[in-house]
Amino acid sequence: MSTILEAKDLIYKYPDGTEAIKGINFKVEEGQMISILGPNGAGKSTFFLHFNGIIEPTSGTIEIDGKTLKYDKKSLLDARSKVGIVFQNPDDQLFAPTVFEDVAFGPMNMGLSEDEVRERTTEAIKVVGMAGFEKKAPHHLSGGQKKRVAIAGILAMRPRIMVLDEPTSGLDPNGASDIMQLLYDLNEDGMTIIISTHDVDLVPLYSDNIHILRLGKIIKNGNCREVFSDKEVVEKSNLRLPWIAQLFEQLEEIDKLTVGDKGYPLTVQQAVNDLMDKI
Amino acid sequence: MSIFEDTLDHYTSHNALTNTNIYLKLLFSVITLCINLFSNSPIMPFTLLIIFTIIIVGIAKIPARFYLAFMAVPFGFALISIIFLAFLGEGTHIWNLGLFGWGISAEGLNRGVLVFFKVMGGVSALGLLVLTTPANRIFAVFHDLHVPSVITDLSILMYRYIFLFLDVTATMYNSQKTRLGYRNYSSWMNCLATLAGIVFIRTWEQGEISYKALASRGYNGKLNMIREGDKISELKITQWILFIAFELFLIAGIILTGSINVVPYLIH
C-alpha cells in the first residue's frame, strides 16, 4: 500500500483571521476507507476542500500521490480529476437541466472524447442505481435520488479518491445504508474513500480507520475499537458510542457481564459473535 | 415534489411530444408564427388556433385546464386590444355608445377581431414549442445556433436555480406563516420584505458554494456540457413534406381568404 493523500502541517485561517484548521497531519493509504468524525463546526468541510485545491492552505501542503499540490490551472484540474468531492447538500452540486448532463459535466471538463464521456456517464448512473432517470430534471428527484446523482457525477470522473461530506445526512435509514453499501462496494473495487459523518452506528460497519476532528485538529485516530474505547475523546467531541456498544456498557457496569476482550462490540454482528463466544 | 407537479416545466417533460425532434417543433412554431403575421383576414389565424389547440391538447396530451390557463394571459391582452381598436377605428359608426360621441366603426371592429385572432393563433403556434419542449433541448438549440456561450451558460444556471429558490421561498413562506406571519397588512409587508432579503442572502451563499462544487468537477469559467439535442439533419423526409405542405396550405389560405372580414364594410 502506498500513501495516496497526505496533509502536512495544514493550517488555514479565514480572511478575518480565525483559524479553522490548526495544524493537521493526515495520511491516507491507497484503498482505505476512512471516516472523519467530529462535532458540527469542527472544520470538516473546510478540511475536505483542501484535498482538491478549492481552498489554498495558509501554510502546510497537500500531497497527492507523493506530489505536492500546486495551485496553477493545470495542476488543479489534475488534482480535481484524482480527488472527487461529493458535497453535503446535493442541491449545491447539481446544476444541469437533466441528470445525464449533470453527470457528464465532470468528464467533459477532463477533455475526454464524447463517446468516452457517454460511456462513463451511463455506467456511473447505473452503478448508483439511477438508470432510467437520465432525462429527469434534478428538481423532480427526491433527496436520496439527488444524493445518488451527485455521487454519480463524481464517479463518472473515475477519481482515485472519493471524498464525501456527510453522505448519509438527511436520508431515510434504508437510503443511508444503501449509500454506505454503495461506498463499501466501490472501496472493495479499489477506490479510496474518505467520509465525514455523525452517524456512529453506521461507521463501524464500514470503516477500518477513524479520525476524530475537533476545533480544527485531529485529536484521535485509529481503528474503531481503539477510538470508541477512549471515552474522554468521544464525549469531548459531542459523539456517543453506537447503541449496541451502549447496551454492553450497561450490561458490564450493572450486571457485571463482560464479553469479548477488545472492548465493547460496535456492530450487531460483533455483538452476536462475542456473545456466541461467551456462551 | 408536489409544488412542481402542476408547472409548465413538469408538462414539458411529460407529454406525448416531448421526444419529437425539437427542430420539427421549432420550424412548425416559428415559421407558422411568422407567416401568420401576414394574414389580412381572421379566418386563417382562427384555423391555426383550432389546429394547434387540437395538436397540443389532443396529440401532445397537455391537460386542457392547463392549456386554458396558459392561453388566458394572451387572451386577456387580445380582448383589451379588440375593445380599443374597435372604438379607435376610423369611419362611420355602426354602433354608438351614446357618450362623448364614442362608437364602434366597422373598420375598427374588423381590425380588432383580426388582431385578436392573429394573437391567439400565433400564441397557440408558439405554445406547441413552449409546452412540449423541455428546457435543456432549447439550450441545445442555443448552442447549435451559436448563441454566445455566456448567454447559454447563464440560462442553464438560472433555469436550475429558479426551482431551487422557489423551493427555498416556499419553505420560508410556510415557516413564516407557521409563526403567524402575514396575519395583517403591516405584518404582511414586514414578512415579505424579510423573505425577499433572506432569499437574496441565500442566493449569495448559494452562488459561492455552487462555484466550489462546480470547480471541484473541473469548472474553468465555461460550462462544458454534453449536448443532448436533436439534429436538424435527423428530420425525416416525411416530416419535411408535412411541414412544407402545412406552410403552403397556410400561405394559400391567407391568399385565398384575402381580406374577408367579419363585418362587411358597407353596413351603415
pLDDT at B4: 57
Is A81 part of the contact surface with chain B (CB cutoff 8 Å)? yes
Alpha carbons A50 and A127: distance in angstroms, whole number: 27
Alpha carbons B83 and A80: distance in angstroms, whole number: 63
Q: Domain A3-240 classified CATH 3.40.50.300? A: yes
Alpha carbons A205 and A201: distance in angstroms, whole number: 8
DSSP code, position A58: S
Dihedral-angle region of residue A2 (phi above 0 means left; psi in -120 to 50 means alpha; beta otherwise): beta
Question: Strand A192-197 and strand A33-37: pairing?
Answer: parallel
Q: How far is B5 from chain A (nearest CA, A)?
A: 9
pLDDT at B3: 53
Sign of CA dihedral A230, A233, A235, A241: negative
Q: For residue B93, which phi and psi values (nearest 5 degrees)?
A: -75, 140
The whole-number average pLDDT for the span A101-127 is: 92
Tell the burial category of B9 from Cβ atoms under 10 Å away from its Cβ (0-12, 13-18, 19+): middle
| Chain mean pLDDT for chain B | 86
CA distances from A52 to A32, A250, A258, B101 (A): 18, 44, 45, 78
Global pTM value: 0.81
Of B159, B210, B220, nearest to A109 by CB-CB distance is: B220
- Residues in chain B, pLDDT under 70: 1-5, 264-268
Helix (H, G, I), strand (E, B) or coil at A17: coil
Residues of B in contact with A109 (CB under 8 A): 217-220, 224
Question: Residues B83, B86, B90, CA angle at the centre, nearest 5°?
Answer: 150
pLDDT at A193: 93
Question: Is there a contact between B215 and A54 if contact means CB atoms under 8 Å apart?
Answer: yes
pLDDT at B2: 47
Q: pLDDT tens for residues A141-191?
A: 888 899 999 999 999 999 999 999 988 888 888 888 888 889 999 999 999
DSSP code, position A168: T
C-beta of residue B116 within 8 angstroms of C-beta of residue B133: no
Residues of A in contact with B161 (CB under 8 A): 95
Q: What percentage of chain A reaches a pLDDT higher than 70?
A: 99
Of B10, B136, B226, nearest to A108 by CB-CB distance is: B226
Question: Is there a contact between A137 and B157 if contact means CB atoms under 8 Å apart?
Answer: no
C-beta of residue B35 within 8 angstroms of C-beta of residue B247: yes
pLDDT at B264: 67
The whole-number average pLDDT for the span A269-274 is: 82
* ipTM higher than the 0.90 cut: no
Residue B85 host element (H or E) = helix B64-88
Domain segments of chain B: what residues?
1-133+247-257, 147-217
**Strand arrangement, sheet containing A19-29:** A19-29, A3-13, A59-64, A67-68
